Amino acid sequence: MRVNNRKVMNGVLEEMGVTAGEQADAVLRTIDKFDKVGEAGVRELLTTGRKDDSGAFIDGVGLAADAVDPVIAFLSSKGADNAETLANLRAAAGASVVGLEGVEELAEIAGLLAAQGVGPDRVVIDPSIVRGLGYYTGPVFEAELTFEILDEKGRKRQFGSVAGGGRYDGLVERFTGQKVPATGLSIGVDRLLAALRAKGLAGTQDQGPVVVTVMDRARMADYQAMAAELRAAGIRAEVYLGNPKNFGNQLKYADKRRSPVAVIQGGDEAERGVVQIKDLVLGAKIAAQASHDEWKAQPAQSEVPRADLVAAVAKILSA
C-alpha cells in the first residue's frame, strides 16, 4: 500500500504560489506522471512543455522555472524509510500550515501501522501517489501487487495497482448539506481476477462468453440484439467492440477470451435471414487432431436461420 496526503500537496502548491483551480489541477496531473517522465520531464511539463516519446509536443503549465522547485523537492522526498520520508516532507511543506498538518496525519498513520506490526515492507509513504480526483481532502492511497509478470514483449514487470482511494470530507456535504467525513475505495475487479489467474488461484480454465463478431459497423444494433437474446436465455455473450476491419483479429480475441462459440453475420447472411455459428472448441480440436477428410466431414461452422440462433448456440454449449 502506498499512502500520501492531499493536504501536503496543497501545502506544496501554496509554496509554489499556485491557487486552486485549473492550474492547480494541471500541476497535480503532472505530478502523477513523475514515475513515467522523471524529474526533468516534470520540470518541462510544469514550465515550457516537452516532447513525448512519439515526438509530439505537450504544452507546459507555464510556471516560472524557480516556482517548480517546491514540487520537485516534494516528489524527491521519498526516503529509505517512512521516518526519513516524513522528515523530507516537513521540509518540502515549508511554512504551509495545511501542508504540515498533512505531514502530521501521515506520521499518525505510520505510528498506528507500526503499533500493529505493519512495516514499510507492506505500507509505505509515497509522495508520488496523487489520485487525480479533485474532491480528496486528506490521505490518499493505492494498493499494488508486487509480484512479477511478463509484458507483451516478454519483459519482467510488477503487476501493479489493483485498488485506490482516499479521504473526502466535503463530497457528501455538496449533495446533502451535512458534514460527513468519508473514505472511499475503488477496486479494479478485472485486474484482481487477472492477478488471481496469473497466480493460478482462479478459474484459468473457465469458459468465456459467446462472441458476436462485427462484419458491418453500421449494423451494431443487430449484433447487440443477438447478444441480448443470448443473455436473456442465460448464455454469456458479448459483441466485439474493437476495430472490425480485420476479421482474423476478432477470432483471435475470441480465443483470448476462451470463447466457445463465435456468431457471424455479414450482409449476405442478413439478407438471407441466417447466421453462421462457429464452434471454436470443436474447430481447435479438429485443427489439432483430424485429417483433412475428417475436417471436411465435421465442419466446425454451420449456417442456421437467424430465429434459431439461441437454440443453435445452446446445443453447441450443451455438447
Domain end: 198, 222, 251, which one?
198
**Is residue 204 assigned to a domain?**
no
Domain co-membership, 87 together with 42: yes
Q: Which pLDDT belongs to residue 22?
A: 75
165 is a domain residue = yes
Handedness of CA 46, 47, 48, 52 (dihedral sign): negative
Structural domains counted in the chain: 2
DSSP string, 3-64: EEEHHHHHHHHHHHTPPTTHHHHHHHHHHTTHHHHHHHHHHHHHTTEEE-TTS-EEE-----
Q: Is residue 30 in some structural domain?
A: yes
Residue 235 and residue 154 in one domain: no
Residues 37 and 144 in one domain: yes
Considering 167, 198, 229, which residue would you say is the last residue of a domain? Answer: 198
Confidence class of residue 24 from pLDDT cuts 50, 70 and 90?
confident
Better-scored residue on pLDDT, 135 or 298: 135
**249 inside domain:** yes
- Indicate if 64 and 193 belong to the same structural domain: yes
SS3 breakdown of the chain: % helix, strand, coil, rounded to 5? 50, 20, 30
Q: For the residues 5-31, what does the mean pLDDT come to?
A: 81
Whether pLDDT at 291 is above 70: no
- Per-residue pLDDT reduced to its tens digit, 129-167: 888 777 889 999 999 998 888 777 777 888 888 999 999
Percentage of the residues of the chain whose pLDDT score is greater than 90:
37
C-alpha torsion 103→105→110→115, nearest 10:
150
76 occurs within a structural domain: yes
41's CB contacts (< 8 A; 6+ apart) are 33, 50
Tens digit of pLDDT for each residue in 75-131? 888 888 888 999 999 988 888 899 999 999 999 999 998 888 888 889 999 988 888
pLDDT of residue 116: 85
We report the CATH number of the domain holding residue 102 as 3.30.930.10
Go through 243-274 and write b for each residue having 16 or more CB atoms within 10 A of its CB, e for each that does not: ebeeeeebbebbeebebbbbbbbeeeeeeeeb
Q: Is the domain of 41 the same as that of 121? A: yes
The domain of 68 spans 2-198
Statement to judge: residues 10 and 86 lie in one domain? yes
CATH number at residue 218: 3.40.50.800
Q: What is the pLDDT of residue 125?
A: 93
d(CA 117, CA 115): 5
Same domain, 170 and 265: no
The upper half-sphere exposure of residue 62, i.e. CA atoms within 13 Å in the direction of its Cβ, equals 5
Phi (first) and psi of residue 277, to 5 degrees: -110, 120
Mean pLDDT of the chain: 86
Is residue 122 located within the same domain as residue 38? yes
| Contact (Cβ atoms closer than 8 angstroms) between residue 316 and residue 309 | no
43 and 151 fall within a common domain? yes
Whether residues 12 and 147 share a domain: the answer is: yes
Q: Which of 170, 198, 226 is the last residue of a domain?
A: 198
